[in-house]
Structure 1
């Protein structure tokens, strides 16, 4: 039993509880009492006023003496049941201490949980057996109003004091889920009256509250299901009512809607299927086709009322589904050597319930599944850069739908554009898992109604992946249709894979592109910038803020108003404004119109990155280090966009002036710290410059050479002579 807490514990006394006493002793215990599952229940999500029936399990294998059920919060959920005579009794409600006799022949008897108020409660089940052991089980109950929408409807107005200046409010119906997100903003309009005050008051704040906004607006917020009125008054400076307006407000509960989401086409794009009151709470979704390449897929389901959702397969031995909606083909089927075509229906269903006196039926979406233990024949077309233009889905029904070709006509955008001037051919990459030998292609001219015809085109030809303009003397734009087809091979299965692409042959220039940088960076310093984009042939460009949307052809959809919380974009100029203190990125789509010279350029995309950070400081210094003698000076040569300051680490060695001039004081070393201040555009910048000061050199007097006197020359021996002269004291030379 999912989410149950079981265990042997002391008997928990319940002040108000059902007690079930056996008619006769049950069979002896054959398993641990702690493993007993008393009731068939899991955690519950209930709507206010809903009653949920819980079945008692077969406990005949256990020697159960008595059985009680109680709630931790009777204001949220309490326990009720029905006697054998049909009279209602309540363990947690009006009748306390009620008891009912059960024995093992009464398997399937139920007790009810009634959702009395918003909040959570714990339901505890306790059973004693003949051995004195106690079995306890608990499950949680969550109760919510499940508010879906607010209706605002006019009931009356009173403008007798100023009939020419009426007070009006438009009727509205606001829908949203979940309930916490619902708030409707209402605008009151007063004609030709100034100096007055508007005020709105809810006649029942337990159903809706009203908060006065700015000017003539106010917000209505739902509290619980129900109806009330809101009165708006317009008063003068003396608090005299000049006009009043009363309107009804209804807070409605959501209808049961089962939304089931999955990817039926295997193209990475999920589709939604809903079962609700508009289709009798029953809906069949598109079939999913599985093969050797894909043997599983995920179903995601959501109940508007928070109902429990169950998944079942009509052929579980071949195609199973778990409690979380994961559908898997069995290994046995996948491993068959002969061709196997297996089908199953996956039922996604909510249970029926009762809210007050209203019965809410079960809702169901059926998902057909088909599997073949081979690969379906596929076909894809890409441009020379590898960008996919079209590809078939893995569905024999869709692949065989040749009727869809006739739906293409001149009102549809061309997929491929050729030109008699500058683009007379296009290379395509055509691929099929059946192999190249099984792929063929032909180009057809349009019929008189603009749709694909049966006559081959004389304007465009196709061969070996190349589309070529065969007729360059046309005077008006001409359309054609390329039909590509892949037949199944021994390695593939299913119907022929077929793709039809529309071709436009224009007399204008077609090699028209938008030249633009791929990214634009904004921050706290640079909050605005213009996207510099230009089309080859000067086409008028449009700029759109977009967000991801897999359902769109290019994967994006336009953001309403060309603005969101963080950015706004001027559609005509491309000026992007960063408005918030958030960091992130957003895409801007650029498109162009055709002109007399060229067709419209292909859309371009720019990613705008924005950050709350400022620009880094632009502080720069000319001197990386300074060496000076005592008493000498040098300039640091610092520049920055913000104010610069200088500080010496040791002014006894070197000082620095406000203009960055360093003066050497005495021998030693110091550091000069240069700082550029921060402002609204730049962060602070810091550079440290080492300074070395050497001692000042001493002055040295060099005497002149002395005059040589008393020179004597004597022969010493051999080739040597001896020269002598008179010595002069302190002579630097002679």
Structure 2
């Protein structure tokens, strides 16, 4: 057989790198005008240890030089590990990503993280977008299902049945997987199919935002006893196929409820009850071959039309009738298809039938009854220790006055007003009789089994954690669990089979578990995977029933913990001042780097010295250890001029004269002008390309950083403070324009 594979396309998206340029003065407005997506991404769920790569868009809505910054809100759950396919130190932030570049995230533990993307142009944020990544320890699963004739979702791994009628010859299979972006999906038929090309119609498979895909299986493309093997490269499920011949099947509903012929004897299990209050019913029936359906009644008192509408023909009286449903014979491809008939019982009474239902204290129905019969499906367990009392709720259409309830043996348990009370260990019955009232017919009698034990009614297991995570930093974890009554617990490593829905003992060597202490050890510290820790307790002399087993998800991953590097969020200084970034990390080895040493320098111990007014970024890195990844923080340092006491004046300052703009080596220009009269400072306004900037200074010279070959225009005006309070400006001098050297 040939494998039929369908690649499910997934749009990936991106970001990475770190570079800094001088930013605009604080308070500059942010424009947001992007129309295209920065990254084609939406909210997604991943498993622990998953990696996912994204690609930055074309950024065509932005000026040349636009870059993207990506930030994770929770680096303990999701962090960045790659840029353009190359590994980078794990971090919660990537900067300087260019158009069409890629970045990769990796998941670490249960939780969620918000990924924020920002487009930066000339140090200004021009657009942003966000998406969420939810991380779970749950192993990847494939769920295959189809809708039956009643619209009910059915597990396809239990098998699909195809016929030869138009309604039954095909079934659409829906696949759902938590991560539906694999290119390893395949759909293969094995078994008796003569057609080696396997026309399974796999071309219908399509990816969607709901993590689902569909394909259609058709009789003829598959044969009886074939199996469809579905795989995504990591998980595999099997869908058994059965193809039946030219036999009609009837699907019937009574008053909208699907009915069955459990004994396959032609008689539906459901009975239609009619009386003076309930005089009608409806039957709908259809053949999978689409043949004509007819209905007939064997009694004149009950009539049914050709649409299945049933009604009384006259006053109700005690009578039994049957309605026969028949699907006509037909031919398919020249082959005869025989007719098929089914029968429904009808009981007529001149009174309503007595009904009853009983629910236990958990709300589960344990008895249902009508007229003179009842079905008992449950029992009551009491304990002389921890469950001395329990309740049942009995509901009937005759009212409480006609319901008689008593304990068959009051020495074992007592009953009063719905409450059962344990007396001593033993087994007995709760005897119930529901008599007919003047308005009903039929008396219902039944017994509910009651067991009283002198042990605890049921043990229970409580685990201290709901998941376990192992990595190279934490290779040993102890699972702790206890029981309500002190039973010993035992631990076992197991895997879960998505197809059989069963747990099996783990046979690998990556992880070891002490069955007595619950110590779990990550032995290999190389591979990654998902397992479960099974916690159970054997039968205990003090308990009647074993506790349900508890399964704790376990994930192991060959990763370190994220760095514990901490540093100040921002540092503000005045020119000439020094300050500390307050960086700390377990590694102890921390390095610092200034993005512009002309504005501020930083020493080996993290001391920042402010040189000139402006904003500079200090990159702080903590070296990796055997348990921690390398850490990195970016700390903005804002430096302002030293404020001088204002001069008390009333007149505005004079105009600035003698403005000069000249080239200075090292991608800088020098701005100078003559000292103006009656002034305390100067406002320097300049434009580079389409961006404008403002600086304040008390000096008559300053250097501006400008790229080689760029054009800069500068104008200056002086200012002082009127009455020592209100800032007032003189006139701007004329613009001076300079194109910087290209070298």
Q: Same fold (TM over 0.5)?
A: no
Task: Specify the TM-score bucket, using the shorter chain as the normaliser.
Answer: 0.3 to 0.5
TM-score normalized by the length of structure 1: 0.40
Structure of greater Rg? 1
1 or 2 for the larger relative contact order (CA 8 Å, sep ≥6)? 2
TM-score normalized by the length of structure 2: 0.40
